[in-house]
Structure 1
Amino acid sequence: MTIFKTVALGIGLTLGATAAYAEYPEKDIRIIVPWGAGGGTDGIVRKLATIAEQEIGASMYVENIEGGISATGVSQLMGAEPDGYTIGVLTYDSVVTVPWQNLVPDYSLDRLNLIARVTSEPDALIVSTDSDYKTIEDVLADAKERPGKVIIGIQNIGSRLHLAALQLQEETGTEFKLIAYPGGAAAQKEAMLNGEVQIVSTSLGDFSSLLDDDKAMGVVEFTDAQNLTYTSVPTAAAKGLDLRMGSFIVVAAPAGVPEDVAQKVEGAFQTALESDEFQSWVSKIGVTPNWLGTAEVTDWTNATAEAIYRDLDKLVEDGVISK
C-alpha cells in the first residue's frame, strides 16, 4: 500500500468516526433512574427527558433499577457501553452514602463521566407557625441565649439532616438539642403537630402539606438558589450563611463516552431545564432548578462528597454512629 493510500485511508477512517459521532443519536437513549417509579427523582427525570428528547432528536426512556440505596442502578450505569445510549442519574446516596459505606466492590465515581447537575432539593429549617420564631435570626438568637435548650427535630442519627444541624451549630456558634425521628418526615410532622418540637430540619417539599396549610413556615433553605415554589423562604446565601446541604440530581454517563456525544446530552438537558415548560412545572413541586455544566459538576461533586465524608468520619470517631 502506498503512503498516499495509507494516509487517505487514515483520513477516511477519521472522517468516518467523526461522522458517526455527528449522527448521534441513531436510536433510543436509555436513562437509568436508580430509584422506584413514581418517586420524586423519577418524576423530575421523566419530565426533563420528555423535553430533552425534542432537542436531541431521539426518544429518551426511563428505566427504574432499584436496590442498594441506588447502588444497583448506578453500578449498571458504570458497566454500560460508553456510547451515549445509556445514561443515568445520581442522587445524594449515590455520591455519598454508597461509597462512604463501601457497600459495593469496584463502585467508584471515576467510572462515570458526570455531565451536569440539574436540580437540588435543599434541606431547610422549618418552624411551627404557632412558635415565636419568625426568622432564622430568631432561632439563632434564642439558641445562643439558651445553649442546648432549643430543640431541632431531625431524622436518623448520621443522616444528611443530622449533618446539616451540626454544620449550622458550627458555623453560627450555637448549640441545639437534636432529637431524632427515624420515621422520616412523617414522624417530624407528627411531632410538630403534637407540639413536641417547634423546629425541624428537612426539605420544604417534605413539609409541603403543612406549609400550604399555614401550619409551618420555612425560615431558611440551605442553598444559594431561590426556591421557585416557596419564594418567601430565604436562602442561606441571602442570610450570609455558608451552609449548603440537600439532595440533588446529577446526570452521568459511563466513563469514556465521546466528548461530542456528552456535549449533545449536556446541551439537551440544559435546554430542557431552561424551558418554560419545565420551569413552570417544577415551580409547583418545591424542587429548585440548579444547573452546573460539565466543566464544573465533577469538582463540585467531589468537593461535596469529601466534605460530608469528613463529617461522617468525625461522628464515627466520636462514637455517635458506626460505619
Structure 2
Amino acid sequence: MKKIITLLFFSAFTLIACKDDEKTNDDPARTINVKTFDKVKVAFGDNLSQSAEGTFTFPDNLDNVKTIKMYIKDICPNKDCDEWDRYANIYAKDKATGTWYELGRFINPYWVGNEKLERGYEVDVTDFRSILSGTTELKIYTETWNAKGRTYSVEFDFEPGTPDYKYSAVVPVIQYNKSSIDGVPYGTNFDTNVFDLTKQITIPTNTEIAYFRTIISGWGHATPNDAGGRGCAEWCFRTHHILINGNPTFSHELKAIGCAQNPVNNQAPGNWKPERAGWCPGMVVPVRFNNIEKNMFGTAFNFEYDFEDWTNNNGNGNAFYAVSTFVVVKSNAPIEKPIVN
C-alpha cells in the first residue's frame, strides 16, 4: 500500500510540473504582464517634477493579443500625498512622429490613494496597440502644486486572443490636455491659432470600422452659476457636440456619473460625493466612443468640436475644458493611418 501511495504522489507531482513547464513565454494563451513605472513620485518642489517619463519594453508581436489593459496604482499610505483632487493622465509616445498620445485620464481622490481597488484604475488601451509594442516611452503627469505630490505604479496586461481586426491605426485629432488649465477656455473668446477645434479628416478607403475616442473634463468655477450654485466648467452640466461637415453628429453629455457610488469611498475629509460635470475624484475620466459612418470612408470630411453656448461674465475666474479626440481605424487588411489636417 505504501508503494502505491508513493507512486500516486510522484505521478501527481510529474503532472503538475509538466503543466508549469508548458506555460512558457511563448505560450499564446498566457496574459503577458509588463510593469512600467514602479512607485515613481511626481510633485511640485523638492527637485521633483509634475511628470515622470520612462522607456519600457512591450511585446513586439501583438498578432495574438486581443486586448490591452492598463492599471494605475495611486499610492498614498497614511495620507502623506497631495490632499486635493488633481487632474492626472498618462501618455505613450508615437515612435514615428514623437507625439505624446493620451492613453487615459483620472482625477486623484482626496487625501488617499486608490488602494481600495485591487489593481488600481483600469483603462482599456487596446486602441493604441499600434504604438504599444517594442520599446515604448511613457509619461505620467499630475497637476499637483505641492511637494507631497503623488506616487504611482503602472502595469499593462496583454491579454491573449484573436483581435477584432488584424490591423489598426490611431492618430490624434485634437489634444488640449496638458493640464486642466491648459484646456480650451470655455464661455469666452479664445485664440483659434492656439486652440484649433476644426480639422479635416481622411479615412483610408479599406477601413472596415472607424470611430472617435474622446476624453473631456471641465475645470474652474466661473460664473454665472447654474441652478444650485454650480459653476463652470467643473460643476455645470453641459452637452457638447462633434460636428461632421457642419452638422451636430455626436453628443457628449457632461453630467452626473455617480460620484457618491465611487468604490474609493474613504476620501475623508473631502468633497468627493457631489456630482461634477462628467467626472469624479478618485475615478477614471470616461472615454466617449462615436462610430463614423462607412460612407465617410475614403473621403475627406470636416470635423469640429463644438461647445454648448455659454458666456462667462468674468465674475469668478475662468472655465476650461481639457479635451483629446483620437480617430481609430481598423481592417483585416494592412491599413494606413488616417490623415488629419
TM-score for the superposition, normalised by structure 1? 0.28
Higher strand share: 2
TM-score for the superposition, normalised by structure 2? 0.27
Higher helix share: 1
